[in-house]
Chain A
Amino acid sequence: AQSVTQPDIHITVSEGASLELRCNYSYGATPYLFWYVQSPGQGLQLLLKYFSGDTLVQGIKGFEAEFKRSQSSFNLRKPSVHWSDAAEYFCAVASNQAGTALIFGKGTTLSVSS
């Protein structure tokens, strides 16, 4: 069965420092991968997606992610974190069994210290 693992439950980063959030997926073929962000009390906002081609994808708010097939990973990065980036981040993979559903990881909470 497909699955997504986000190994880090909670990460704290200093403002201005770089950020990397880890995501590992389980899927046989080339996956469709997504990163979403959720601010407190709000729905999920799509940051970026990977379908095929260039393995480094750019998203909104200065985020990027790199697809590494050999490591089954799709890690999210940002070179300089802002206090407003504090939120919950979810990695997701497209399901191959239920329409166009997404399978989400449990999320990583990002705190930003000043």
Chain B
Amino acid sequence: ETGVTQSPTHLIKTRGQQVTLRCSSQSGHNTVSWYQQALGQGPQFIFQYYREEENGRGNFPPRFSGLQFPNYSSELNVNALELDDSALYLCASSSRGLGPAGYEQYFGPGTRLTVT
């Protein structure tokens, strides 16, 4: 069974630029969630994708957008990068439709984004 993978591992961008982060979900999972983890904080929910559609969103502006593909992999796009976007971005996969077990999320190692 393949776990959740994310790419790239690290990324350095300049303020105002755009970035795309990628995630491959765990085998058998149909739902992908993205979280932002600032230094010293807990993960904060950005949004979730199920059946290629956004299925819930946290308190993040529209410049944070995403996609889910037919193979359940996903992308997180951030436009007009700001210094405060520097964080660890975590992708988590789960299997919706299993009752409470659908809330069990399995995380990838994350992408460390630095905005200068």
A interface residues with partner B (beta carbon < 8 Å): 4, 32, 34, 36, 41-46, 49, 51-52, 90, 92, 94-95, 97-107
Task: List 11 contacting pairs A-B, 8 Å CB cutoff, sorted by A.
Answer: A32-B100, A34-B103, A46-B104, A98-B45, A98-B48, A100-B31, A100-B102, A100-B105, A103-B45, A104-B42, A104-B43
B interface residues with partner A (beta carbon < 8 Å): 4, 31, 33, 35, 40-45, 48, 50, 55-58, 90, 92, 94, 96, 100-110
In the complex, what residue of chain B is closest to A42 when comparing beta carbons?
A: B109
Q: What residues of A have a CB within 8 angstroms of the CB of B57 in the complex?
A: 98
In the complex, what residue of chain A is closest to B9 when comparing beta carbons?
A: A41
In the complex, what residue of chain A is closest to B112 when comparing beta carbons?
A: A41
Q: What residues of B have a CB within 8 angstroms of the CB of A52 in the complex?
A: 100
B1 to A: closest C-beta gap in Å = 14
A100 to B: closest C-beta gap in Å = 5
- Which 7 pairs from chain A and chain B are nearest by CB? A99-B56, A98-B56, A104-B42, A43-B107, A51-B100, A99-B48, A44-B107
Contact A101 B107, beta carbon cutoff 8 Å: no
Interface centre among A42, A43, A49, A98 (most CB of B within 10 A): A43
Across the interface, B109 reaches (CB within 8 A) one of A34, A43, A51, A106, namely A43
Interface centre among A32, A90, A95, A99 (most CB of B within 10 A): A99
B108 to A: closest C-beta gap in Å = 5
B25 to A: closest C-beta gap in Å = 13
B35 to A: closest C-beta gap in Å = 8
B58 to A: closest C-beta gap in Å = 6
Contact B103 A105, beta carbon cutoff 8 Å: no
Contact A99-B50, Cβ < 8 Å, known A44-B43, A44-B90, A105-B42? yes
Contact B58 A49, beta carbon cutoff 8 Å: no
Contact B56 A43, beta carbon cutoff 8 Å: no
In the complex, what residue of chain B is closest to A99 when comparing beta carbons?
A: B56
